[in-house]
Amino acid sequence: MTDYRPEPPTNTPTEALLEAGQTVGHHLRSLPALLPRAADYAGLGKRWGTELLSGATVGVVALPLALGFGVASGAGATAGIVTAIVAGILAAVFGGSHLQVSGPTGAMTVVLLPVIARHGADKIPLLAVMAGVLLLVLAVAGLGRAVDLIPWPVVEGFTMGIGVIIFLQQLPLALGTAKGESESTLGSAWETLAATDWTKAWLPLLVVALVLAVNLALTPIKRNVPTALVAVVIGTLVAWAFNLDIERIGALPTGLPMPSVPTFDGRLLTSLAAPALAIAALAALESLLSARVADGMAPSVPRTNPDRELFGQGVANLGTGLFGGIPATGAIARTAVNVRSGGRTRVSAVFHSIVLAVVVWTLAPLVSQVPLAALAGVLMWTAIRMINVPLGKRILLTTRADRTTFLLTLVATIALDLVIAVLLGVAMAAMHSLRHMASYSVVRPEHLPVDTAEGLVDVASDELRAKIALYRVDGALFYGNARRFTELVLEENGCRGVILRFHRLQVMDASGADALKQAILTLTAQGVTVIVQGMTDAQLQTAYSLRAFAPDQYAASLPEALMALDRALSDDEPDADGQDAAGVH
């Protein structure tokens, strides 16, 4: 019989080393694509006015958010402004998106609060530098496209969970009460409510309610109105007019601090490694998701280069760390405003940072009088808009897999850790996908004649038909259904020969090949002859590497399999003296 085994690899160690070197060289030659180039600004000559107007609009919208997220993170309003200015420019110039606007975000404040509580606010610049280095490593390694593997229910559960956390984190500022000591957001919110002096809390609550009301009233009027800024201005004027006894932002710098390398040692780097990894993972996730949403909003703009976007975010975090800021990511709210305002090049994102710097440094005395409760109201409104209840209801009415993935990610985001929540959500989605794939991987009995690509196959005699069984294996044979496959093949059928047809098999891994091996060994021990038919070269390589069957047990086509089985069964027939071709029974 023909030996259908694939030829074994013939590469020598030297050839394998050269091939690996060529692969590494090809990757290194692609690294210059991570750097800025003139093509990033194609068509800018005709768009200067639109880009500057869009940048100014985003800058006005970003001002209260930068102040608010800086305060909410525990690092202070100054750190929020510095981050928005530095990260906004660096990420725009070095990033892979033409539309992305970067800066401090709500998701990052969620991660930073427990880190500040444990290590202190003075360690945040060092964390930003460490996260920046990790992002650069991810970019050079080409891992940017991994975000495409994150299912949509995970993204939505993550987004809504962050909205809930951001809302709860504003309770101390909204109530004028010290933050609870618990590291859990839920526990801290409960402690804050329990410790609130309600005879004094109504004053900041009044400002929060006013800010929420202004946002609610202005949102339907005109999409490009900076409702957050208008709400903050009105809240500040009311607090000033009635001389309300509530906490204000306080003094702000009138320029960027001088850059400096944060102090560190080996022990400190070790203790900060885990939070730095979490911050880098969150920065990568949020930035790439934001860029993907922006690409969908402006199809005419070149799509984001995910590896370069990670590179840009790495440079941005290095910069913010050197200037004493907090870790930054792509901000989906500001990015959406940029796209809706007409921004189509990086100039709008750069100009938004310039506008922020001019407004803060020329109006610092006025900005310092903004009540913290007004910023809390802005962030609460942002959180409310992130919690899309109708969308959540629609997800709950879809498949069980989407429903459980969404709910697990949502609950884990609120109760646990953001990165862990995404990992759990992806794991749940993967389990459902494997279960779904396994359910469509079946072993089907077939009967002669069989209609194949070669025509109607019926080369078996009536005598042979009575002795054999045909099974067609569809879909995938992998660790998710290996045991089920073995049980189906070993069902009692009273035959002397079995043909396992794999011509419709899409995937087979080592677990599947091992299950095939066990089924063949068990059938052979029962005196049943097995012929395997119809594998691809890759599947054959996997099967032969585990010795799932011998070369003479394989046939490329069904006619060959039938003839091989007919010969094998004929050789086993005993003669009149009780002997067969193999010897005496």
Q: What is the pLDDT averaged over residues 544-571?
A: 83
Q: What pLDDT band is residue 376 in, cutting at 50, 70 and 90?
A: confident
In this prediction, residue 321 has a pLDDT band, given cuts at 50, 70 and 90, of very high
| Residue 476: pLDDT over 50 | yes
Q: What is the pLDDT at residue 7?
A: 47
Got the DSSP string for 7-64? Answer: PPP---HHHHHHHHHHHHHHHHHHGGGGS--GGGGTTGGGTHHHHHHHHHHHHHHHHH
Rounded CA separation 394/108 (Å)? 28
Which tens digits make up the pLDDT trace of 495-510?
Answer: 888 888 888 888 888 8
Q: Domains of the chain: which residue ranges?
A: 47-382, 443-572
pLDDT value at 455 more than 80: no
Residue 571: which pLDDT band, with cuts at 50, 70 and 90? low
Which helix (H) or strand (E) segment is 476 a member of?
strand 475-477
Give the residue, 96 or 365, on which the prediction is more confident.
Answer: 96
Model confidence at 576: pLDDT above 50: no
Confidence of residue 552 (pLDDT cuts 50, 70, 90): confident
| Range of weakest confidence among 18-22, 147-151, 341-345, 363-367 | 18-22
pLDDT of residue 16: 63
pLDDT of res. 168: 86
CA 47 vs CA 50, 100, 295: distances in Å: 5, 17, 19
Cα(389)–Cα(311) distance, rounded to whole angstroms?
Answer: 35
Long-range contact list for 546-549, CB < 8 A, 24+ apart?
546/510, 546/513, 546/514, 546/517, 547/517, 548/513, 548/514, 548/516, 548/517, 548/520, 549/516, 549/517, 549/520
Superfamily holding 443-572: STAS domain (3.30.750.24)
Q: Are strands 505-508 and 529-533 parallel, antiparallel or unpaired?
A: unpaired
d(CA 499, CA 559): 11
What's the predicted TM-score (pTM) here? 0.68
β partners of residue 98: none
Per-residue pLDDT at 145: 77
Residue 580 host element (H or E): strand 579-580
**pLDDT band for position 346 (cuts 50, 70, 90):** very high
Write down the pLDDT at residue 492. 58
Across 185-199, average pLDDT: 84
Q: What is the dihedral angle through the alpha carbons of 124, 129, 135, 138, rounded to the nearest 10 degrees? A: -120
The pLDDT confidence band at residue 579, using thresholds 50, 70 and 90, is very low
> pLDDT tens across 82-112, in order?
999 999 999 999 999 999 999 998 778 878 8
How confident is the model over 217-251, as pLDDT tens digits? 887 776 656 777 788 888 889 888 888 888 887 77
Q: Which residue has the tokens 């690899």?
A: 9
Range picked from 159-163, 269-273, 446-450 for highest mean pLDDT = 269-273
